[in-house]
Structure 1
Amino acid sequence: MSKIHLIALASLLVVHISGAQDAISIDKKFTKEIERLAKDKKVATAFKYIEQQKEQTTQDHIALTEILAAPFKEDKRGIAFAKLLEEAGVDSLWTDKVGNVIGLKKGTSGESGYVGIDAHLDVVFPEGTDVTVKKVGDTLKAPGIGDDTRALANLISMLKGMNKAGIKTDKDILIVGSVGEEGLGDLRGMKYIFNESGMDIDSWIAIDGGSMGRISNAGLGSKRYKLLVKGKGGHSWGAFGLANPHHALGKAIDVFSKSAWEYTSGDISKTSFNVGRIGGGTSVNSIPFESWMEVDMRAISPKNLDEIEEIFKSSVEKAINEYNSSGVEGEVTYELIKIGDRPSGELSSDIPLVQRSIAATEYFGGTPSLGTGSTNINIPVSKGIPAVCIGRGGSGGGAHSLHEWYVNDESAEESIKLALLITLAQAGLDK
């Protein structure tokens, strides 16, 4: 498995790209590499074909959007995506045991280590959501139209361009529609690929997020828990004084919030915490028998993430013990259920994959900006495997809402070319 991110670049020739939040350094050899690659006749042919199939890409985009891929229910969209991969032309095609749809484009060198590129199949919307695409002028409107369905269509267009131009690469390429990127999916698709599949992954490119130019080289980790507090329950008057799970939960929120706020306000890199959902109880005049809350904690630093998690656990234990000792009748019990665990990490901007992504973005006239996100690259980044997340292009808004929209402007096809160029640079163009 490649560890090139650990190798210091010996002689870095530096130029600064204006417009990014911080100055971004780029080795000129990667700028030259990208320029040479983009001028290759076969690559130029692929670029032209990507432009020519703009309408077909839009049709694929709409067709996939109108197949709802609710959390843990990606099967139907996966079947449709697999058919598009087959029609576009892959050397082999399979769906793994968790639902990832994987197309293999074989390389010529026999060198080990796959270069993977993916978009996620799932959306945040539950079963029953109306995902019919509505056209208003040049705007497409539907839940999931942008995040991340457009990126699936980009992969198909990229693959068609490669095959139309007869492009071969040195290394094998995996083109993947992944599952479980959103919410409680907890990156299960990527966790399977990197932890259980046995595949040797050299590097990974995820297409997610919006505009061209955004490059994530860091994974924002998160720990998510459901706290379940239980008691006997009873009538609000007749059983008054009985241990109340809601009251205990409120104390847990208070103790945790105070300790966590003190920690996150200290001299550490940004770390966050949030009580996002609470629930339980049957009526206003009943002492509940159950109360629950869901908590999200985030940090780029693995150390900070572990420490805020420990603060949460110790705060809950302290709060429940204090509540049970407060003079109430009986006691409450509690259970902590982990509902999300996304590892964090950050890769150096000097590694070849990040450098190539910066150079390719600049080649297409974009302004590169390195950043952090909670995406599929969290898994490879946490393992030290080179990975970036790039934008799908076009214009859009309203992600994760019923009024999500997308416009296929001039950056849309440029973003497909960008993904192709980065992939070819990483996999090596066979001459």
Structure 2
Amino acid sequence: MNKGHLLKNNTFLGLLIFGLLLSNVLSGQESVVANKKIDKAVGKLLKDKKIKNAFEIIDAIENETERDLITLTEIPAPPYMEAERAEAFKKMFMEAGLDEVSIDEVGNVIAIRKGTVGGKVIVLDAHLDTVFPEGTDVKVVKKGDTLVAPGVGDDTRGLAMLLAIFKAMKKADVSTEADVWFVGSVGEEGLGDLRGVKHLFREGAQKIDSWISIDGGTVGRVNNAGLGSVRYKALFKGKGGHSWGAFGLANPHHALGFAIKEFTENAKTFTDEGAKTSFNIGRIGGGTSVNSIPFESWMEVDMRSVDSDRLKEVEAIFKESMETALKAYNNTGIDDEISLELIKIGDRPSGELSLDTPLVQRAISATNLFGYKPSLTRGSTNSNIPISMGIPAITIGRGGIGGGAHSLHEWWLNENGAEAIKLAMLLTVIEAGYVK
């Protein structure tokens, strides 16, 4: 082989390796480094007297922050029932010395700390809602240094962090040019479908210039990409009747069975190849008794993809599969017919911010300077909405150590938890423009 061929092959190999490394970085498998200019600016801010004082305050009020966490955790916040927790969160901000605190039309708590210049708005967000239904025992149990309760980590810890950050900034007299909004948002979980953040970014709303969410994970998470998803409820309806007396009548459950088989086979063929795409039938229901032909049968389906075009394709496969299955079942010779209604119950857009986005670079730099390894990730969080709109937005971890999220035995341990609070405060201050 001549030198020209060797050069071409080596160049190709080098590009291939670079591409693979870049892919790993974007999927959160490798740590990344910010540019030197931003590193220098962040490093300088870390040495600032007021910032250091604010950090000392965060350490000093850790017991108070834990009490806030316990208080909020023990106020139930089921989906669409966040009002009581919202009122308590609002009161906590007011007691901490913030006058401009309100609850908007959909239930978001918005606590505004005015900047010296104003005009721009930087949001620091954590969500109020949990996945647990009404009646769940949310009493916090302390097992040594570990707090155990449904929702104690996801995302009540984030709410307590917002309070600690405001208290530290106020006591240390840390000022910013832009307004900082501390937001306790509704509807992040499940069928809430990001309704809180969607409302904040609705047409005609106050412009938000940057968005930082605290939600899940350890220090080091820099979620700069939104994992898109669509969710449907497929509702099959019939007349219903007695299992013996009306035997032979069209049965919605039987039609649902046809639909599940048709969709899972078609969707699997599609998802076996190409950019990662998933599908899941998460809930099914209907019927009145074992000896009754049901009058309705339903299932809830979740579809996700890292690629917006593939998400549209798997959504189309779902719709076509439902219609094909319905037709096939109605043609089996049953008495009467089953009807179908497809109800969209979730729509989270996808998107991705460039590594060069200043907010992303600042998060990487701050994480490195705090002694942790930053990792770019993709997730389904409140940040999906601003990311999909091209607005600087990230989701960062709440720190500490936790587990059992979305379960009755969820737990959280305050191991270096204050570091996550300091990091979130630093990012907020940098993004909002620190005033010396």
TM-score range, shorter chain: over 0.9
Comparing 334-343 with 22-31, greater Cα deviation is found at 22-31
Are the counterparts in 1 of residues 330 and 337 from structure 2 also a CA contact under 8 Å? yes
Opposite residue 296 of structure 1, the aligned amino acid is D
The whole-number CA distance in structure 2 between the counterparts of 1:160 and 1:79 is 18
**What is the aligned partner in structure 2 of residue 429 from structure 1?**
434
Q: 2:290 aligns with which of 284, 293, 296?
A: 284
Aligned residue type for 1:61: L
Pairing of 1:374-385 with structure 2 (within 5 A)? 374-385=380-391
CA distance in 1, matches of 2:221, 2:319: 36
**In structure 2, how many angstroms separate the alpha carbons of the residues matched to 1:71 and 1:57?**
25
Distance (Å, rounded) in 2 between the aligned partners of 1:293 and 1:128: 24
Partner of 1:305: 311
Answer yes or no: is the 8 Å Cα contact 1:102–1:175 preserved in 2: yes
Q: How far apart, CA to CA, are the structure 1 residues paired with 2:291 and 2:135?
A: 34
Please tell me whether residue 27 in structure 1 is matched to residue 28 in structure 2: no
2:48 corresponds to: 40
Letter in 1 for 2:67: Q
- 2:301 aligned residue (278, 286, 295): 295
Task: Work out the CA distance in 2 between the residues paired with 1:133 and 1:88.
Answer: 23
Letter aligned with residue 304 of structure 2: R
Q: Structure 1's 214 and 117: CA in aligned 2 closer, same or farther, altered over 3 A?
A: same
State whether structure 2 residue 261 is matched by structure 1 residue 254: yes
Q: Look up the match of 2:103.
A: 95
Aligned counterparts of 1:77 and 1:143: Cα–Cα separation in 2: 14
Cα distance in 2 for partners of 1:25, 1:364 equals 13
Distance in 1 (CA, whole Å) between partners of 2:96 and 2:204 is 25
- Residue 415, structure 1, aligned to residue 423, structure 2: no
Aligned pair partner of 1:404 in 400, 410, 433: 410
Give, in whole Å, the separation in 2 of the partners of 1:188 and 1:157.
26
Q: What amino acid maps onto 1:420 in structure 2?
A: M
Say whether 1:164 aligns with 2:174: no
1:211 corresponds to 2:225: no
* Structure 1 portions without partners, runs of 5+: 1-15
Of 81, 104, 110, the match for 1:73: 81
- Following the alignment from structure 1 to structure 2, what is the Cα–Cα distance between the partners of residues 139 and 314? 49
Which amino acid letter does the alignment assign opposite residue 31 of structure 1? D
State the distance in 2 between where 1:272 and 1:321 align: 25
Match of 2:135 in 1: 128
- Aligned partners of 1:176 and 1:282: how far apart in 2? 43
Instruction: Check conservation: 1:300, 1:346, Cα contact below 8 A.
Output: no
Q: Which amino acid aligns with 2:125?
A: D
Residue type at the aligned position of 2:112 = L
2:279 to 273, 296, 299: 273
SS in 1 for 2:175: coil
Q: Secondary structure at the match of 1:60?
A: helix
The unaligned stretches of length 5 or more in structure 2 are: 1-23
C-alpha deviation, 1:23, in angstroms: 5.0
Report deviation, 1:91: 5.0
C-alpha contact 1:225 1:338 (8 A) present in aligned 2? yes
CA apart distance, 1:234? 2.0
C-alpha distance in structure 1 between counterparts of 2:382 and 2:197, whole Å? 6
Q: What's the secondary structure of 2:301's corresponding residue?
A: strand
Q: Taking structure 1 as reference, are residues 23 and 70 closer, same or farther at Cα in structure 2, changes over 3 Å only?
A: closer
In 2, the alpha carbon distance for the partners of 1:195 and 1:390 equals: 23
Q: For residues 93-141 of structure 1, what are the alpha-carbon distances to aligned partners after superposition, in whole Å with 9 as ceiling and x for unaligned?
A: 111100100011111123x331101111111111111111111111111
* Structure 2 residue 246 is matched with structure 1 residue 239: yes
What amino acid maps onto 1:220 in structure 2?
L
2:12 matched to which residue of 1? Answer: none
Q: For residue 89 of structure 1, give the secondary structure of its aligned residue in structure 2.
A: coil
After superposition, the C-alpha distances for 1:239-258 in whole angstroms (9 at most, x for unaligned) are: 22221111111111111111
Distance 2:215 2:66 in 1: 17
Letter in 2 for 1:382: S
- Identify if the C-alpha distance between structure 1 residues 204 and 28 changes in structure 2 by more than 3 Å, giving closer, same or farther: same
Compute the displacement of 1:196 (Å). 4.6
Partner of 2:21: none
Number of the residue aligned with 1:4 = none
Percent sequence identity over matched residues?
60
Matches within 5 A, 1:177-188: 177-188=184-195
Which of the residues 212, 237, 245 maps onto 1:230? 237
> Structure 1 length normalisation: TM-score?
0.93
Provide Cα deviations, 1:336-378, integer angstroms capped at 9, x if missing partner. 1111111111111210000100111111111111101111101
Aligned residue for 1:278, secondary structure, equals strand
SS in 2 for 1:26: coil
Give the distance between the partners of 1:85 and 1:23, measured in 2 at CA: 36
- The normalised TM-score by structure 2 is 0.92
Aligned residues of 1:89 and 1:159 also touching (Cα < 8 A) = no
Does the 8 A contact of 1:245 with 1:332 survive in 2? yes
Q: Could you tell me whether the CA contact under 8 Å between 1:91 and 1:106 is conserved in 2?
A: no
Partner of 1:193: 200
Shift in Å at residue 90 of structure 1?
A: 2.7
